C-alpha cells in the first residue's frame, strides 16, 4: 500500500517536473511568455501560457527539442523557501504568478528552480531533469485563466509523461484503441446515425440500424417500467411560455432555452424538460393518499440550447430523448421509492454490462428552495436508501441543485471511462409552485414529495456510451443484424431465404446476403458490420438440412440443426448476453 503511494507520488513528480521543463523550453523560445499554472494530471501534465502569438501544432517539435536539451543537461531541481516580499519581487514581471502569490495566505512561499528557470511551486519534484525518461507533447488548447470564462484565454500545452518509454507507448496504444471505439467513428462505419449541417448541429438522425438498437432498448425499458408499476405517458413538445415562467425555468435556465415562438398571439416554448407536463397530469384531478405513489414515466424528447463548442457526436446534443420519470409520493414513502429507483437503476446498468460505478450524494447548495428541515430530512432519506441498498457513496457537499438533494451514479465503460448514468433528484420547488398536493387520511391537502429521475440519461448519450463500451460489437439482443445468412453460391439462395424466414418468424433479425461475391467477401462484410452470427450455407448444409455457424469471434459451430440454432439464439437474446 505504501509502495503504491510512493509510486503514485513519484509519477506525479515526474509529470510535474516535466511541466516545469516545458515551461522553461517555452520561456526560452518566447522570452515574453507569461506563465500560468502547470500541474500534473492523469497521464501527464499541462502548462498554461500567455504568449505574444498563437501556438500551432508546428511549434511542438521545437519545444520538444528544447525540452530534450534541458533533460540531457540534467539540471538539479532545487527547492527554496522565500518570503512573500522576495516572491513578489522575483515574479514582478509575471502577472499570473503575482495573482497566485496574492491568493496564498502563507508568509513563506516555496519555489523550485532548475538551471535558470524558477517557478512558484510546492513540489515535489525529481532530483534533476535527467530523471525524466518518457514524455510526449500532445495537443495545444485554449483554457481560461483559473478556469473561469470571464478571465483571459491562455494557451495550454498538454503532454504525456511516464516513468518509462514502455509505459508511454502502452498508453498511446490505449488512446488509439479508444479512438477506434469512438461512437462518432463507429456511428459512421456501422451506419447508426448522422447529424446534418443542413439541419443543424446537435440534431441527431437515427439511421435504421441505430434505430433498431434504440427501439430494443426502449422496449426493454418499457417492459421494466411496466413491471415496476410505472405509468408510461406521452406529452407534447411545446407548451405556453407562461408555464415555464411559473416553474421558474424561464428565470433559471433561460440560457439553455430556445426563443419562444408565437402561436395565435401566445408565446410557446420548445420544452427543455418533461416535468411540467407530468405535473399537469398529476394535477388533472384531486389525488388521494391511497393512489400514491404515482410514477409517471416518459421517453420524452426535449430541446436545450447547448453552446456550440460543447456539442459532441451523440453524447452532447441539442435535441434528445430522456428516459424520464417523475414520482409523486408522500414524504413517508420517499425512502422506499428511492430504494426502488436504485434497484431499477442498478439492474439496468448491469444489464448493459457495466460493472464499476461511483455514487455521489449532493447536498444543499448556497442558494436553495425549501427549508433547512426539508433538506435535512430528504438528504437523510437518500442516505438511508443508499445504505439499505448497500451502495457505497461519497457526499458532494453543496453540489445539489437548488431545488433539492440528489444522487448521481457514474458508471465505467470497458475502457474505464466514466459516464453520467442514473440520477435521482428530490424537488421541493415545483410542487410548491404548482401546488401539487394530495388529500390525506385527515381530509386535508398535503404537499407531495416529488422525485425526478432518469436511468439511462438520454437515448442519444446512452447510445454513444454503449457503442463505445461494446466497441460496436453489440450483444446479440441489441445487434441491428443478428444473423447474416451467406449462401455459398446462387443455387443455395432458396435455402438461405428459407432459413432467413425461419429466423424472422422468431423475430430474429436475419438477412440473406444476395450479392454475387465470394464467400470470403461476404464473410468479410458481415465481420466488418460486427454481425454476431453468420450462417454459411452450401451443398453440404442443404443435403443435411443443417446450417454452419461462424460466430463474430471466429468460433465455428458446423452442421447444427435450425432448431438448435434457434434455441441458442433465442436463449442468448432472452438472457441479454453477448
Tell me which residues in 163-192 interact with RNA (CB under 7 A). Answer: 184, 188-189
Q: Provide, rounded to whole angstroms, the least separation between the CB of residue 317 and RNA.
A: 5
113 binds RNA (CB under 7 A): no
Q: Shortest gap between Cβ of 488 and RNA (angstroms)?
A: 5
For RNA, which is the closer residue by CB, 175 or 263? 175
Least separation in angstroms between residue 70's CB and RNA is 24
Which of the 8 DSSP states describes residue 152?
A: P
DSSP symbols for 356-375: -EEEEEE---SS-SS-HHHH
Min separation Cβ 200 and RNA, Å = 6
Tell me how crowded residue 504 is: count the other CB atoms within 10 A of its CB. 13
| 197 or 264: CB nearest RNA | 197
Q: Residue by residue, what is the 3-state secondary structure of 240-290?
A: EHHHHHHHCHHHHCHHHCCCCEEECCEEEEECCCCHHHHHHHHCCCCCEHH
The catalytic residue among 183, 278, 364, 452 is: 452
Count of CB atoms within 10 A of residue 412's CB?
16
Residue 460 within binding range of RNA, rule CB under 7 A: yes
- From 109-117, 128-136, 198-206, 225-233, span contacting RNA (CB under 7 A): 198-206
Q: Could you tell me the smallest distance in angstroms from the CB atom of residue 33 to RNA?
A: 14
Please report whether residue 550 would count as binding RNA according to CB under 7 A: yes
Q: For the CB of residue 176, give the shortest distance to RNA in the complex, in Å.
A: 13
Contact between 292 and 286 under an 8 Å Cβ cutoff? The reply is no
Q: Which stretch binds RNA (CB under 7 A): 129-137, 260-268, 356-364, 540-548?
A: 540-548
Per rule CB under 7 A, is residue 11 in the interface with RNA? no
Catalytic pick among 114, 304, 509, 522 = 304
Sole binder of RNA in the list 558, 561, 575, 577 (CB under 7 A) = 558
Site for RNA in 322-341 (CB under 7 A): 322
Supply the angle between the helices 2-29 and 59-72 in degrees, to the nearest 10: 120
Applying the rule CB under 7 A, the residues between 37 and 76 that interact with RNA are 54-57
Site for RNA in 263-282 (CB under 7 A): none
Per-residue b or e along 505-533, where b marks 16 or more CB atoms closer than 10 Å to that residue's CB: eeebbbbbbeeeeebeebbebbeebbbbb
CB of 77 to RNA, least distance (A): 26
**Cell triple for 536:** 454459411
Sole binder of RNA in the list 374, 548, 565, 569 (CB under 7 A): 548
User: Which residues between 361 and 400 bind RNA (CB under 7 A)?
Assistant: none
Neighbouring C-beta atoms of residue 542, cutoff 10 Å: 17
Q: Applying CB under 7 A, which of residues 127, 200, 397, 545 lies at the interface with RNA?
A: 200
- Cα distance between residue 114 and residue 127, in whole Å: 10
CB of 243 to RNA, least distance (A): 20
Q: What would the x/- binding string for RNA be over residues 407 to 436, using CB under 7 A?
A: -------------x--x-------------
Task: Give me the least distance between CB of 342 and RNA, in Å please.
Answer: 16
**Within 285-324, which residues bind RNA (CB under 7 A)?**
304, 306-313, 316-318, 320, 322
Burial status of residue 398 (CB atoms within 10 A of its CB: 0-12, 13-18, 19 or more): exposed
Cell numbers that stand for 388 in this block? 439499505
Give me the catalytic one of 50, 181, 275, 461.
275
Note if 183 is an active site residue. Answer: no
Work out whether 572 is an interface residue with RNA (CB under 7 A). no
DSSP string spanning 490-514?
GGGHHHHHHHHHHHHHTT--EEE--
Kind of pairing between the strands at 117-120 and 108-114: antiparallel
**Residues with Cβ within 8 Å of residue 299, at least 6 apart in sequence:** 218, 221, 321, 322, 323, 324, 459
Closest CA to 487 of 456, 458, 511: 511
452 is catalytic: yes
- Asked if 182 is an active-site residue, the reply is no
Residue 322 catalytic? Answer: yes
Of residues 126 and 190, the one with the C-beta less far from RNA: 190
Nearer to RNA, 152 or 164 (CB): 152
In this complex, which beta carbon is closest to RNA, that of residue 185 or of residue 228? 185
Give the Cα separation of 321 and 234 in Å (integer).
12
Identify the CA nearest to 406 among candidates 356, 439, 365: 365
C-alpha cell at 246: 411559473
| 106 included as an active-site residue | no
Closer CB to RNA, 395 or 544, in the complex: 544
358 binds RNA (CB under 7 A): no
Burial of 91 (0-12, 13-18, 19+ CB in 10 A): buried
Rounded (5°) CA angle 278-281-282? 85
| Residues 513-532 contacting RNA, CB under 7 A | 515-521, 523-524, 527-528
Closer residue to RNA, CB minimum distance, 113 or 321: 321
Among 11, 101, 130, 144, binds RNA (CB under 7 A): 144
Q: How far apart are CA 534 and CA 544, in angstroms?
A: 18
Beta carbon nearer to RNA, 490 or 494: 490
Catalytic residue status for 492: no
What angle separates helix 372-388 from helix 334-351, to the nearest 10 degrees? 50
529 part of the active site:
no
- C-alpha cell recorded at residue 38: 502547470
- Closer by beta carbon to RNA, 71 or else 317: 317
534 binds RNA (CB under 7 A): yes
Residues known to be catalytic: 275, 304, 322, 324, 326, 406, 452
Amino acid at each position: 500500500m505504501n509502495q503504491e503511494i510512493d509510486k503514485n507520488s513519484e509519477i506525479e513528480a515526474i509529470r510535474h517536473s516535466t511541466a516545469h521543463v516545458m515551461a522553461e523550453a517555452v520561456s526560452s523560445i518566447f522570452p515574453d511568455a507569461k506563465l500560468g499554472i502547470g500541474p500534473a494530471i492523469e497521464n501527464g501534465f499541462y502548462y498554461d501560457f500567455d504568449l505574444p502569438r498563437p501556438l500551432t501544432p508546428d511549434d511542438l517539435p521545437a519545444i520538444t527539442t528544447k525540452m530534450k536539451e534541458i533533460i540531457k543537461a540534467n539540471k538539479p531541481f532545487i527547492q527554496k523557501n522565500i518570503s512573500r516580499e522576495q516572491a513578489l519581487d522575483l515574479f514582478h514581471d509575471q502577472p499570473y504568478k503575482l495573482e497566485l502569490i496574492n491568493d496564498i495566505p502563507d508568509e513563506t512561499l516555496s519555489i523550485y528552480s532548475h538551471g535558470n528557470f524558477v517557478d512558484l511551486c510546492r513540489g515535489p519534484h525529481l532530483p534533476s531533469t535527467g530523471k525524466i525518461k518518457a514524455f510526449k507533447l500532445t495537443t495545444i488548447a485554449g483554457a481560461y485563466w483559473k478556469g473561469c470564462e470571464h478571465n483571459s484565454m491562455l494557451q495550454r500545452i498538454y503532454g504525456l509523461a511516464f516513468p518509462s518509454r514502455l509505459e508511454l507507448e502502452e498508453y498511446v496504444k490505449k488512446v488509439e484503441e479508444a479512438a477506434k471505439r469512438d461512437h462518432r467513428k463507429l456511428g459512421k462505419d456501422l451506419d447508426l446515425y448522422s447529424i446534418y449541417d443542413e439541419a443543424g448541429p446537435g440534431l441527431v438522425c437515427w439511421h435504421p440500424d441505430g434505430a433498431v438498437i434504440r427501439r430494443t432498448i426502449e422496449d426493454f425499458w418499457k417492459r421494466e417500467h411496466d413491471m415496476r408499476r410505472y405509468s408510461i405517458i406521452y406529452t407534447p413538445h411545446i407548451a405556453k411560455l407562461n408555464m415555464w415562467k411559473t416553474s421558474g425555468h424561464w428565470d433559471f435556465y433561460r440560457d439553455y432555452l430556445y426563443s419562444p415562438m408565437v402561436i395565435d398571439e401566445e408565446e410557446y416554448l420548445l420544452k427543455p424538460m418533461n416535468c411540467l407536463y407530468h405535473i399537469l397530469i398529476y394535477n388533472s384531478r384531486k389525488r388521494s393518499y391511497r393512489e400514491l405513489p404515482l410514477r409517471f414515466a416518459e421517453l420524452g424528447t426535449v430541446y436545450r440550447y447547448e453552446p456550440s463548442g460543447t456539442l459532441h457526436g451523440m453524447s452532447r446534443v441539442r435535441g434528445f430523448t430522456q428516459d424520464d420519470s417523475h414520482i409523486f409520493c408522500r414524504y413517508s414513502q420517499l425512502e422506499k421509492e428511492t430504494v426502488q429507483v436504485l434497484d431499477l437503476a442498478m439492474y439496468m446498468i448491469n444489464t448493459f454490462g457495466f460493472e464499476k460505478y461511483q455514487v455521489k450524494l449532493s447536498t444543499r447548495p448556497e442558494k436553495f428552495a425549501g427549508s433547512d428541515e426539508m433538506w435535512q430530512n430528504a438528504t437523510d432519506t437518500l442516505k438511508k436508501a443508499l445504505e439499505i441498498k448497500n451502495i457505497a457513496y461519497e457526499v458532494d457537499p453543496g453540489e445539489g441543485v437548488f431545488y433539492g438533494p440528489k444522487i448521481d451514479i457514474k458508471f465505467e465503460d470497458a475502457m474505464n471511462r466514466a459516464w453520467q448514468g442514473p440520477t435521482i433528484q428530490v424537488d421541493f420547488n415545483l410542487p410548491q409552485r404548482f401546488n401539487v398536493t394530495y388529500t390525506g387520511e385527515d381530509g386535508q391537502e398535503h404537499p407531495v414529495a416529488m422525485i425526478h429521475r432518469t436511468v439511462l440519461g438520454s437515448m442519444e448519450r446512452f447510445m454513444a456510451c454503449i457503442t463505445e463500451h461494446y466497441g460496436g460489437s453489440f450483444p446479440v439482443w441489441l445487434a441491428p443484424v443478428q444473423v447474416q445468412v451467406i449462401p455459398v453460391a446462387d443455387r443455395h439462395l432458396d435455402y438461405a431465404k428459407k432459413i432467413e424466414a425461419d429466423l424472422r418468424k422468431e423475430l430474429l433479425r436475419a438477412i440473406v446476403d444476395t450479392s454475387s461475391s465470394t464467400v470470403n467477401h461476404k464473410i468479410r462484410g458481415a465481420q466488418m458490420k460486427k454481425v454476431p452470427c453468420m450462417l454459411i450455407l452450401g451443398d453440404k448444409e442443404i443435403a443435411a438440412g443443417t446450417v454452419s455457424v461462424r460466430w463474430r469471434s471466429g468460433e465455428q459451430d458446423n452442421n447444427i440443426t435450425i432448431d438448435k440454432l434457434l434455441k441458442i439464439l433465442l436463449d442468448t437474446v432472452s438472457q441479454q448476453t453477448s
